[in-house]
Amino acid sequence: MSHRVLVLNGPNLGRLGSREPDVYGATSYAGLVEQCTALGKELGFEVEVRETNDEAELVGWLHEAADGSIPVVLNPAAFTHYSYALRDAAAQRTAPLIEVHISNPYAREEFRHTSVVAAVASGTIAGFGIGSYRLALRALAEQLPD
């Protein structure tokens, strides 16, 4: 059985590859999409990767996932630290939701040390570059029934 999985990305992640490559790596957003969909196929997932700079749109996608019991890999980006709207939408999840970060927020500025999403996520994976997404997809594969 193929599971539908949403990989949702918050602000500025569409600029991967050109945005602070020393922090976020050289992989482009298109490369991220390609890696997630390819690994998803291997794991039996139908992966859809989305990115938005709009908080309301991201909240809407989390509602869609909750309504459809769709597992989520979520990189809230800057919304991680202050978006209670995003936190409340994530809390409505009806399937696993894994928070991911490309960098390790705890190794960066102090304001990045707080995640309002972490407490309502199934788990958090951070600091492994684009590999954080691959680890999250593998974690979902272990959590979801065949």
Q: What is the pLDDT of residue 63?
A: 98
Q: Is 106 tagged catalytic?
A: no
Could you state, in order of their start, the residue ranges of all structural domains in the chain? Answer: 3-74+84-100+120-143
β 45-51/3-9 pair status:
parallel
Question: Which is catalytic among the residues 101, 106, 113, 133?
Answer: 101
Q: Is 102 annotated as a binding residue?
A: yes
Q: Which two tokens stand for residue 109?
A: 């500025």
Question: Which is catalytic among the residues 3, 24, 106, 133?
Answer: 24
Q: What is the pLDDT of residue 22?
A: 56
Q: Which two tokens stand for residue 123?
A: 């788990």
Q: What is the pLDDT of residue 66?
A: 98
* Homologous superfamily of the 3-74+84-100+120-143 domain (CATH): Dehydroquinase, class II (3.40.50.9100)
H/E segment holding residue 47: strand 45-51
β 45-51/72-75 pair status:
unpaired
Q: Is 88 annotated as a binding residue?
A: yes
Q: What is the pLDDT of residue 105?
A: 72
81 sits in the region (left: phi over 0; alpha: psi -120 to 50; else beta) called alpha
Q: Is 24 tagged catalytic?
A: yes
Q: Is 113 annotated as a binding residue?
A: no
Q: Is 112 annotated as a binding residue?
A: yes
11 sits in the region (left: phi over 0; alpha: psi -120 to 50; else beta) called beta
What are the average pLDDT values for consecutive 10-residue runs of the chain, which has 146 residues?
89 65 62 93 96 95 98 92 92 96 74 82 93 96 84
Q: What is the pLDDT of residue 146?
A: 65
Q: Which two tokens stand for residue 61?
A: 């996608």
